[in-house]
Amino acid sequence: MVFEHSIVNMFLFPSGLMMGGNFSIMDYLIWNEIPVVLGNLVGGLTFTGLMLYSTHYKTSKSRKPEDVKLAA
């Protein structure tokens, strides 16, 4: 499935360039780092955020405002 991690790629791709890789820094940024960062954000928010929401939604206190009684 080729899941990538942006922090690991920040090391691997520059070291690949230093070893004579056949790509430019713009190739790296456009075709790897930007899509990987966006994928990490979406995946992190989806998997972490939705899991926390789904497990804590029913156990949290109600956020409904107290009934306000108006003086008649």
70 domain residue, yes or no: no
- Give the tens place of pLDDT for each residue, 12-63: 999 999 999 999 999 999 999 999 999 888 988 888 988 888 888 776 566 6
The domain containing residue 18 runs over which residues? 6-54
SS3 label, residue 49: helix
- DSSP code for 58: T
Q: What pLDDT is attached to residue 22?
A: 94
Q: Is the pLDDT of residue 71 over 70?
A: no
36 domain residue, yes or no: yes
69 domain residue, yes or no: no
Start-to-end CA span in the chain (Å): 66
Please provide residue 25's backbone torsions phi and psi, each rounded to the nearest 5 degrees.
Answer: -65, -35
1 domain residue, yes or no: no
63 domain residue, yes or no: no
Global pTM value: 0.62
Per the structure, the count of domains in the chain is 1
Q: What pLDDT is attached to residue 38?
A: 92
Q: DSSP readout, 16-28?
A: HHHTT-S--HHHH
Q: Residue 40 in contact with residue 6, Cβ under 8 Å?
A: yes
